[in-house]
Chain A
Amino acid sequence: MAHLLSQNVWLIPCYALIGAMLALPWSPGLVRRTGPRPAGYINVVLSLLALVHSLVALTDIWGQSATSESFVWLDAAGLTITLDLEVSSLTLGVCSLIASLNLLAQTYAIAYLEMDWGWARFYSLMGLFEAGLCFLVLCNSLFFSYVILEILTLGTYLIVGFWYNQSLVVTGARDAFLTKRVGDLILLMGVVALLPIAGTWNFADLAQWAATAELEPRVATLLACALIAGPIAKCAQFPLHLWLDEAMEGPYPATILRNTLVVSTGAWVLIKIMPVVALSEFAVSAVIVTGAATAIGASAISIAQIDIKRVLSYLTSAYLGLVFIAIGSGASQTALMMLFVFVLSMALLVMATGNIVLNNITQNLTQMGGLWARRPVTGLCVAIGGLSLLALPPLGGFWALVPLADWLWQSEPALLAVVLATNALIGISVARLFGLMFGGVVTDWTRRSPEGLWLLVLPTTVLAGFALHVPLFFAAWEILPQMNTLAPSIGAIVTWSSLLGVAIGSLFYLAPTAKPPVTLVPQPLRDFLAYDFYTPQLYKLLLVSPIGQLSRFINWLDRYIVDGVVNLVGVAAVFGGESLKYNTSGRSQFYVLSIILSVAIFILIMSLPALRLLSAGL
């Protein structure tokens, strides 16, 4: 039985996909009689099935070497696209993680969206995300990775736009979609350009090819930069990070997946294509610089946010910045460990803060305070989530960050400073978040705050248990770093940076006499951080308004120039209404004239290259 399941891992993404399909009839109101709830229950059950399948398959192949399967998807005109699957302990383990987290998020959503009428849409999309994520993890081909990333981009658009009748939600969905699409399309350029050069999209073959390939430096740089654009957009790294902030308009249970697994897909793909990216020095340093800038910048921005979800979204960008540094500096295994820690801790933070947001009706940190006495369980969960994100022994974050610090200490000490600073800034941000919510005095918003339904609390506490056990997981997988092989006192340095951050944060936000340090920081800097480095304005200036103006110009051109001299002189009326007597009116010559002009331009453009060639030949 177990063997059968491990032979058919392709079924794992299918469960969630079937769930997504089955939920559809409730979505546009085809089934009304039952209400939308069955759609949710179906998906929870199918997620459970996926989880059981991946766990059983995982135990079956545990310790064996990776096997791969291949199906031909398209075979036409010399192009064969195969769907390659890789079955290994790692991929199945990640599938189990995805399925369990989705199961928790879906359970959580039963309570969180109790009164919502969009259940079918929501669960259908959650199913789509689970299917896409599992498939992405299992598939071993750059082409299908791109396909999944693109489909998930569409999924993000729909799930962020879940409450579509609010205008902020609509713009958030739009920006999330377009930003990620920009990254995806640049990645597509890379995918298209890579095949003629490398002849394969299989990650393993690509790595083999890249080991011996000799590319013209310019080509290598262009190619590698195209390939990293997709991950940068997915992971919400500078300068494509704003979408994650705006995506916070989506429902909380969806954020559990988005802020953890969905953003991590970018890092996963980046790890896989790193051998190709490594062909270009420039691209590798671009990965590191992007990661470093985002790590420092986003963690600083998160300290200046007053919206809980925005704090979390910038923490997400910041931590993924650290992951980018790890990937760029060649520490792929450490990057995977960091992702594991990050996924569990961030999911816990999102879930736990969601518990508060749901029954205190606000996610504004300035309206929070004094919740510790009322919500100890949730408070504990927020504390665990926040602290395990940091490098603080004995929690998980420490064991993931120490190998990175050690590796950087040997290779790039400057980057170590960045990592330590980011760690400290994250510490401040986490302490601030906790302090503002649970410390301080009770406000009108937090006066009444009972723990929510068990469906909220249970997934949160279960996840807190997982987060606490991360070091044990690492130990069981035998990837726990051996302290005696590390550089001396690196563990202490990392720990001190976390403690420093937490201490500063607590001093200002948690201590009984705490006064927010607003007056300490000059106003322009505060605004600069609070308004996210003025990125929205930057986008508008550099991208949105040029395209808008260009499109208006083209439209004007189309209307008044290309569409003929006729319209310019107002002869359009001749053809208007019922009049068909165009040939009795001499003015239709204008029309013919415009056609002739267009034809002339067309021929001119068409023949330009040919003429150039001919004249060169002559």
Chain B
Amino acid sequence: MLTALILIPLIGAITIGLFPDTAIAPTRAKLFALITAVITFLGSIYLATQFDLQAFSLQFVEAHTWIPPIGLNYHLGLDGLSLPLVVLNTLLTIIAIYSTSDQLDRPKLYYALLLIASAGVTGAFLAQNLLLFVLCFELELIPVYLLIAIWGGERRGYAGTKFLLYTALSGILILAAFLVVAWVGGDFISFDYADISTAHLDLKTQLIALTLLLVGLGIKIPLVPLHTWSPDAYVESSPPIAILLGGILAKLGTYGLIRFGLELFPETWSLVGPGLAIIGAISVMYGSLAAIAQRDIKRMVAYSSIGHMGYILVAIAAGTELSVLGGIAQMVAHGLILALLFNLVGLVEAKTGTRDLDALNGLLNPIRGLPLISTLLITAGMASAGIPGMVGFAAEFLVFQGSFSVFPIPTLLCILSSGLTAVYFVILLNRTCFGKLDNSLAYYDRVTLPERLPSVVLVAIVVIFGLQPNWLVRWMEPTSDHFVAALPAQEIALPVISQVANPPIASLSPSLSAPQLNP
């Protein structure tokens, strides 16, 4: 069953490649790609309905040996961490394909690449073998690079290359980390997650491997200061690709943090936790502040994404049941909201021909403007700024509440920064939606109903999960609890009054104190 989720898009991609180059091909390719994506989505929904909510273990496991000598097995499985992300991926793939313009050069290649990338991401989320994960991770890289570099904006070459260099490095570092974990000391059986453990490694080796891994994932997430590929890649790629990039590809990084960071390095985790929390808080503040200074709305959204990924890092670093759950919820929330924002910003650009804050004005105007798009943009901006009633708030609140007892100061900084989030969204909304529409320029094409559909659907999901977050978190809870239970007990018992005053480092587990490193 899980294989189908990977195979259907791949087969779809190959079939599209075989389409004849007739005049009718572009729309037909799109339709076919859309059908493929919808089938995959329905497949993932079907899995969700069959998913056992009580179990934390892997479900629907498929295991076949592939290349035993190097430990590569075809081993797939689904748990509460991967399920929401797989569903998110298949959903965003539909939205990306659906919102692609019909006037597209080389449509066959485009849709084929898009489907391959989607299959790669699904594979990475499902993989239960380190090598298989790396394989899927790389499988997604090349198509996305081409999608940026061929169908991107003005500086697509630059952005694409930057993306390629950074992400390739990220893949190498992750692979290196895996190799260290698997090959240094101990008996090597295979790269299956189940066969890998770091218990036998000394602390120093663990730290080295974890650092390699964190840098690799940090590039992907992206975390400050490893983020510089992302604003360029987001801005230069076309809106559907930006949706995939920011909405789901970046989640591979945070997924890896939980799957490999928490699960493979439970003992070392609390050692790097405080540092990660600081980096997370820096990312949040840095992204928000940089977004305030932008004049290009897409770039603003791109920096906002960097900020919001910082929350996830703080949550995972804290490693409490609530914070990890909040982190996973925030991945989904951020994916939905970012996709929504990129979709709307893309529509604004397509209709008005500009993304410049100084040129845009008064789009809320009901006659000549884009009233519905502006309304949705306001909703999306507010959802991203963490206004209650929408999923962003629910997830962020879990993160704040969960990490506060472990890292009070980074958490408070994050809360403070969500004020900065409000600042740049108000700037964005005041400039684009509010203000006086220039009647001499405002001859915009009407937004058709099909164009509105994706954003309306996304807003509905964002609001429904915001009002009823239980429907979102119940998929993840057993798994996140399980991850946290594997961590050594931290001092996070509830009435920790003294922690408020103490620096975050005080809350580290004493069981991990340094003497282990003594020669």
Contact = CB atoms under 8 A, between A and B. Distances in A.
Interface of A: 27-30, 73-79, 117, 146-147, 150-151, 153-154, 157-158, 161, 164-167, 169-171, 173-174, 177-178, 181-182, 185, 188-189, 192-193, 195-197, 199, 215-216, 218-219, 222, 547-548, 550-552, 554-555, 558, 562-564, 572, 575-580, 582, 588, 591-592, 594-595, 598-599, 601-603, 605-610, 612-618
Contact of A575 (B162, B228, B412, B473): B162
Nearest to B416: A185
A608 B513 CA distance: 15
A335 to B, nearest CB: 27
Given A177-B422, A580-B157, A28 B371 contact: yes
A554 B271 contact: no
Given A554-B290, A599-B215, A147 B362 contact: no
B294 interface: yes
B276 interface: yes
Interface stretch (B55-63, B131-139, B427-435): B427-435
Contacts of A577: 157
A164 B165 contact: no
B18 to A, nearest CB: 27
A41 B74 CA distance: 63
28 contacts: A76-B473, A79-B402, A147-B389, A147-B393, A154-B382, A157-B426, A164-B433, A164-B434, A165-B434, A169-B434, A181-B422, A189-B416, A192-B397, A192-B401, A196-B404, A222-B500, A547-B423, A551-B289, A554-B290, A575-B157, A576-B158, A592-B165, A602-B226, A602-B279, A605-B282, A608-B278, A609-B275, A617-B513
B215 A603 contact: yes
A194 to B, nearest CB: 10
A197 B497 CA distance: 6
B143 interface: no
**Which of A77, A153, A547 has the most chain B CB atoms closer than 10 A to its own CB?**
A77
B470 interface: yes
A558 B78 CA distance: 39
A605 B388 contact: no
A551 B375 CA distance: 27
Interface in B200-222: 207, 211, 214-215, 218
Nearest to A175: B426
A79 B505 contact: no
Name the 4 nearest CB pairs between A and B, nearest first. A617-B514, A575-B158, A555-B293, A609-B274
Contacts of B436: 165-167
A147 B495 CA distance: 24
B518 A618 contact: yes
Given A74-B394, A178-B423, A165 B437 contact: yes
Interface residues of B, number: 105
B90 interface: no
B249 interface: no
Contacts, number: 245
A76 B505 contact: no
A599 B275 contact: no
Given A547-B292, A592-B165, A562 B272 contact: no
Nearest to A554: B289
A52 B440 CA distance: 50
A610 B272 contact: yes
Given A30-B372, A192-B401, A613-B508, A74 B470 contact: yes
Interface string B363-384: 0111100011011001000100
A608 B275 contact: yes
B488 interface: no
B415 interface: yes
B290 A558 contact: yes
A333 B225 CA distance: 54
Contacts of A612: 505
A193 B372 contact: no
A580 B149 contact: yes
Contact of B289 (A117, A550, A607): A550
Contact of B515 (A147, A171, A215, A617): A617
B515 A78 contact: no
Given A216-B501, A219-B497, A76 B477 contact: yes
A551 B290 contact: yes
A147 B388 contact: yes
Contacts of B24: none
A76 B398 CA distance: 9
A192 B411 contact: yes
B212 to A, nearest CB: 10
Given A188-B400, A215-B497, A575-B158, A181 B225 contact: no
Contacts of A218: 501
Given A181-B419, A609-B504, A76 B325 contact: yes
**Which of B278, B293, B433 has the most chain A CB atoms closer than 10 A to its own CB?**
B293
B303 to A, nearest CB: 8
A74 B473 contact: yes
Nearest to A154: B387
Contacts of B397: 192
B106 interface: no
B400 A158 contact: no
A177 B425 CA distance: 11
A147 B393 CA distance: 9
A77 B157 contact: no
A562 B225 contact: yes
Contacts of B433: 164
Nearest to B467: A73
Given A605-B282, A606-B211, A196 B473 contact: no
**Which of A158, A164, A562, A563 has the most chain B CB atoms closer than 10 A to its own CB?**
A164
B384 to A, nearest CB: 13
A244 B426 CA distance: 18
Interface string B395-421: 001101110110010011001101110
B494 interface: yes
A610 B158 contact: no
Contacts of A599: 215, 226
Given A192-B401, A617-B514, A580 B434 contact: no
A175 to B, nearest CB: 9
Contacts of B418: 185
A562 B514 CA distance: 33
Contacts of B367: 29
Nearest to A161: B434
Contacts of B517: 614, 617-618
Contact of B211 (A77, A169, A588, A603): A603
A359 B309 CA distance: 53
Contacts of B389: 147, 151
